[in-house]
Amino acid sequence: MTAGASAIAALPRGAGWWPAPLAAAVTGLAAVGLLGWGFAAATQPFGIVSYAALLLLTLLFARALARCGLFVGDTTVSMIVVTIAALLGLFIFYPVGKSLLAALLDTQGRFAPGLAFERLLARDIWGLNCLPWVGNGTQCGVAVNSVILATIVGFGTTLIGLVMALAAQRGAQRFSALYRVMAVLPIVTPPFVIALALVVLFGRTGLVTGWLNTVFDIPRSRWIYGLTGVTLAQLLTFTPIAFMILSGALAAVSPSLEEAAQTLRATRARVFRTVTWPLLRPALANSFLLGFVESLADFGNPVVLAGNYEVLSTKIFFAVAGAQHEPGRAAALAMVLLGFTLIAFWLQQRWLGKASYVTVSGKGDAGLPAQLPTGLRRGCVGFAMLWIVFTLACYAVILVGGFVKDVGRGDMTPVVSHIAAGFGIEWRNGAPAFTGSAWDSFFTTIEVAAIAAPLTAVVGLLSAYVITRQQFAGRRTFEFLTMVSFAVPGTVIGVAYIVAFNVPPLELTGGLAILILCFVFRNMPVGVRAGIAALAQIDKSLDEASSTLRASTWRTLTQVVLPLLKPAIVATLIFSFTHAMTAVSAVIFLATAKYNLATVYIIGRVEAGEYPLAIAYSTVLIVFMSLMLLAVSKFTGSVRIGRRSQAELVTGH
């Protein structure tokens, strides 16, 4: 095989010689794909040889394409594009396509379009009985419930995020430390922590519920379980994301545009309405889209708080993991969920259109944004402070709850038994023994995250390099392929991996590899976008200078470009590692008793009613992730647009 690759490298470029090696590479790919995967698992000797042969033949195929004149004849670019496209096809499009196809098959694997329509159009998916003018006031279908919840959360997170961003950028800069805390919280928090805190505060035996019952004789109730509770939990969970997007957009609005309106004697209210607000349109659309999609895909909060209010994510989970085990029905529900997500992306693009929203140019400005109308400023600051206090109170409940006897019942006796049960350590024969029940899942999660993070960075940044620095046929298509997994909810990815990789020819379920692959290709778009953003700030003349000195593309990439991408690499590593530590919606289907993950372990404790242990584990995760961020913070910094502050203008420095 090595000899074959050398022979290809020695052949001249052109169109006359290519059919034989190209056909050989395609034949080899097909042979290994059809025979090698089915003979043995990847951990067995023949399986390892099969995968190695498949990789070499893929590279041979890419080299043949470059020798044919594609990719401007650059073998490095050809290998990067072909290899990553093949991986995306294998670990995104193949599993998603196969899982969607499962919705069209019956239990014997036969094509059954009638059964597919029955699954997709079932009353428990699309029913409108909750509407008083349609039904009898009972529950709506699970799809209708999900859309109602996602729409409320999308608008709610966008509105609250905008209020907080206005307060941070235009109202109360002296509280910047609190806003930074709000920006970090979603990174270090498992997705169901807020739900646990709300149960502790407002559950039937919660702290606030008990206090209201004692002081005001308000009866205890279960109002927190259902649409109200899930909405509140998701607003608390996803609002910081909207805040970060809108805060960055507000900071990027050029004050010169607002100054021009003020020069024409526009009032503060009119400046905000006619200048500032229109320029926030892309950020508002992105905030709503993220809130909508995250709500649809969220599993942790609904599984704790939904009660009888069923949503697609939990319905899919119980169709796979429930007693009836209906993979076909789960695939149909996943198809509905994916459809909603894609429609949301399409609507966002239609709303934004092709208008330009550029506000940062090479021209200087005073750096003083327009002041908000007095009433709006006071309202934003007041609401933002209340929301931050409420959010921090929820996190305080979690941080304290792991070290008291039963915070949910108001027993605040200090204990360490919950931490000891999960993370107990004993000394045996002079060596530590990890006796706690949570250690296995904790170590497995760290192992998976530590392996997945650098792989995500490599795949994402290589993709970003060829997208931004190279010109080849199909470049836009390749960029679209790298971003598709962002539009696929984690729940759909989990179902897809179960359906596709549970049987030959690629049987991976139950092992560590499937968890790593899931995280790599789920988080890959973040690495791509981070790389594209960083490369946009690096002048292409550096690449051209390297090429002028006859450096190869690979040498230019490794010795010129990558050293300048350190912030993007670190950012991708941080996000990939932390997301792998806290994700649940995809891996809830893939974790096993042997390879359990921290979030799956916590969900299991919640379902078993062991709230103190779940809270203690959540506390450990939050503290661990916070320390991780502090440890790498010296490698990253904040981007600051070169504008002078008010103090600098006054002093003249």
Q: DSSP letters along 69-118, please?
A: TGGGG-HHHHHHHHHHHHHHIIIIIHHHHHHHHHTTB-TTS-B-HHHHHH
Q: What is the pLDDT of residue 357?
A: 41
pTM listed for this prediction: 0.76
Instruction: Note whether 592 and 472 are within 8 A (CB).
Output: no
Which residues are registered as beta bridge partners of 16? Answer: none
Whole-number Å distance between alpha carbons of 628 and 580: 13
Q: How far is CA 643 from the centre of its chain?
A: 32
For residues 150-163, average pLDDT: 91
- Biggest CA–CA distance in the chain, Å, is 89
Beta-carbon neighbour count of residue 373 at 10 Å?
Answer: 16
> Hey, where are the domains in the chain?
1-68, 144-358+386-410, 416-653
SS (H, E, C) 483-524: HHHHHCCHHHHHHHHHHHCCCCCCCCCCCHHHHHHHHHHHHH
Res 137 pLDDT > 60: no
CA–CA distances in Å: residue 556 to residues 83, 254, 532: 19, 36, 17
**Which stretches of 288-447 are assigned E, i.e. beta strand?**
404-406, 411-414, 425-428, 431-434
pLDDT tens digit sequence for 368-415: 565 666 777 788 888 888 888 888 888 888 888 888 887 767 778 888
Say what the alpha-carbon torsion angle 292, 297, 298, 299 is, to the nearest 10 degrees.
Answer: 160
For residues 421-439, average pLDDT: 83
Asked whether the domain spanning 416-653 has the same topology as the one spanning 144-358+386-410, the reply is: yes
pLDDT tens digit sequence for 41-54: 444 444 555 666 67
CATH class held by domain 416-653 = mainly alpha
Q: Could you tell me the pLDDT band of residue 509, with boundaries at 50, 70 and 90?
A: confident
Beta-carbon neighbour count of residue 11 at 10 Å?
Answer: 14
Whole-number Å distance between alpha carbons of 84 and 408: 49
pLDDT tens digit sequence for 459-482: 888 888 888 877 778 788 888 788
Q: What is the pLDDT of residue 324?
A: 66
Res 176 pLDDT > 70: no
Beta-carbon neighbour count of residue 327 at 10 Å?
Answer: 19
CATH class held by domain 144-358+386-410 = mainly alpha
pLDDT tens digit sequence for 26-73: 555 555 554 444 434 444 444 555 666 677 777 777 787 777 777 777
Q: What is the pLDDT of residue 156?
A: 94
Q: 538: exposed, middle or buried (C-beta count within 10 Å: 0-12, 13-18, 19+)?
A: middle
Query: Helices 598-607 & 439-469, crossing angle to 10 degrees?
Result: 130
For residue 410, give the 3-state DSSP assignment.
Answer: coil
Using a pLDDT cut of 90, give the percent of the chain over it.
6
Q: What is the pLDDT of residue 255?
A: 63
Instruction: Note whether 470 and 562 are within 8 A (CB).
Output: no
Higher-pLDDT residue of 592 and 233 is 233
Residue written as token pair 């709230």: 611
Whole-number Å distance between alpha carbons of 62 and 57: 9
For residues 146-168, average pLDDT: 89
Say what the alpha-carbon torsion angle 514, 481, 526, 357 is, to the nearest 10 degrees.
Answer: -160
